[in-house]
Amino acid sequence: MIDQSVERRPAIQAAPEGRQPNKRVLIRLEGLTKVYDEGDMHHMVLDELNREFYAGEFVCLLGKSGSGKSTLLNLISGIDAPSHGHVVIYQDSEAVRLTALTEHERTLFRRRNIGIVFQFFNLIPTLTVLENVMLPLELNGEAGASRRAQQLLDRVELGNRLQTYPDKLSGGEQQRVAIARALAHDPLLILADEPTGNLDEDTGNTVLTLLLELTRDAGKTLFMATHAPEVARLADRVLHLDHGKLVIDENGH
């Protein structure tokens, strides 16, 4: 449930002009704070983050375990709610303030607008490869789910495994299915939480290359949390989190 201490404002507002010319703001963090209560102790996970991110950017989140990377992705996706502050996502000409939405409304917004790639794939074991990729389309009531899913599976070179179940796939193949699923419903934003963390180096590099190629071809914004500094060389923007604070925000490449 949403923390009742969070200030509630209208969920829909007019989108602002970006601070940088010719760039459209997609995400705005306003004083974003997350605190976990552990008995009498208060654990500050994210501390007053204020940032804007732009459509089409590849943003790499670096930091040690416990630095707040996964928590930030969970707040941006609406899976979790902040203790204070706001996440605003700009959809066309309007701004959606996630903290003004109910948990159910956040779920619907995420289902329609955000694709997520998890470290451990999170495929549904009782569904085939094709059915896993079709699922977000069917949940949104979109027509042509099978055709769209097959096209994406062809792109990730799994068009010959449509009726295979996840337990018959390698880790790299499962992550390729997860990437296709994340892109299936044409989301505004892709969030990837350590997408290569459960793969060997060669397989991880192949999956990373594929993820970047597909998201850039589709013009999507990609947020990726990782421990691997070499990934930062491929990013448009690199954020370093340390004890819940953004200590570095720099251009990539």
Q: pLDDT digits over 47-58, tens only?
A: 999 999 999 999
Entry pTM: 0.86
- Which residue would you say has higher pLDDT here, 235 or 12? 235
Has residue 14 got a pLDDT over 70? no
130-136, long-range: CB < 8 A, 24+ apart = 130/162, 130/163, 132/166, 132/177, 132/181, 133/177, 133/180, 133/181, 133/184, 134/184, 135/181, 136/111, 136/181, 136/184, 136/185
Nearest to 182 by CA among 128, 222, 237: 222
How does pLDDT run across 110-144, given as a tens digit for each residue? 999 999 999 899 999 999 999 999 999 999 999 99
Q: Where are the domains of the chain?
A: 12-251
**How far, in Å, are 27, 33, 59, 130, 166 from residue 87 at the CA level?**
7, 10, 16, 33, 34
Total length of the chain: 253
Q: Does CATH place domain 12-251 in 3.30.1390.10? A: no
pLDDT-derived band at 6 (thresholds 50, 70, 90) equals very low
Percent of the chain with pLDDT over 90: 67
* pLDDT at position 9: 40
Average pLDDT over residues 33-49: 89
Per-residue burial over 226-240, b = 16 or more CB atoms within 10 Å of its CB, e = otherwise? bebeebbeebbbbbb
Q: What is the mean pLDDT of the chain?
A: 88
Residue 150: strand, helix, or coil: helix
Has residue 18 got a pLDDT over 80? no
Residue 84 CA to residue 107 CA, distance in Å, equals 20
* pLDDT at position 253: 59
Residue 67 CA to residue 69 CA, distance in Å, equals 6
pLDDT-derived band at 16 (thresholds 50, 70, 90) equals very low
In angstroms, how far apart are the furthest CA atoms of the chain?
A: 55
